[in-house]
Amino acid sequence: MPAVLSVMPTIDANSPIGVFDSGLGGLTVVKQIIQFLPNEQIVYFGDTARVPYGAKSAETIIRYSRQIVGILRKHRVKMIVVACNTASALALEVLCKESRLPIIGVIGPGATKAARSTKRRKVGIIATSSTVRSGAYAARIRRLDKTIQVFSQPCPLFVPLVEEGWLDHEVTHTVAREYLKALKKSGVDTLILGCTHYPLLKNVLHSVMGPKVMLIDSAEEVAAQVRRILIENQMLRTRLSPLSHKFLVSDEPQNFKRLAQRFLGGGVKEVHLCHV
């Protein structure tokens, strides 16, 4: 669950917001934060050397997440967004206990929106294998409304397809049709995109599920929560100097830069290699 701070640590309000993910997918959250908070600076870390996280153990995900939090703290971030659903499901609680900075994940906001949106009380979840096994989304939805039926489907091939840039490839359509077959049969009217890579496949997912199924991307809700935390703690950036977002990756910075520029519409001038 997200961190709730009673006392904010002493830190400069003009410090950046830290965001991390296993690779490219967390840029869906970055894009929304930029829209919600255009005056804020962001330091993003994509663990491209170790993507995907979805089939790894909880112990491994916690170790990776601790390492990345350590890197972000060196950049004096004022809060951290775990923009990876797998890390949110398996490592967020540990990270929150170990840090005085506010740290939030993506599962709570997505589950809340889905529970409020479903009309037929049938919610589907697509996610990595580790996130599905954790049961984090299903547990959160059932806490909100026990009458909602939850149907989960692991989609492990989606992350490498996104990282490859195959966002509208026929192979991706074929894989999606196979993965989503059971969810379509179940009659879900709301589908949680339980991995931050998956919003990059919205066109494919819409075409397979049909126009009557609402796709839930938690990025907008996460950005709203970031803004709320900063406002409540009087931590909005006040410096008017030009923004310079920083992008760090653990492997293949040029490939990341190419895909990131395509997704964010430019604004990614440099991507720095940062070994973990």
Counted residue by residue, the chain has a size of: 276
Strands 214-216 and 190-194: parallel
Residues annotated catalytic, as ranges: 84, 195
For residue 41 the two structure tokens come to 């600076």
Which amino acid makes up residue 80?
I
Round to whole Å and give the CA distance between 222 and 104: 8
8 Å CB contact between 11 and 240: no
3-state secondary structure of 61: helix
Rounded CA-CA distance 44/21 in Å is 8
For residue 130, what are its two tokens? 């580790």
Residue type, position 249, single letter = V
| DSSP code string of 214-241 | EEE-THHHHHHHHHHHHHHTT------S
What is the residue type of 142? R
Q: 75 exposed, middle or buried (CB, 10 Å; 0-12, 13-18, 19+)?
A: middle
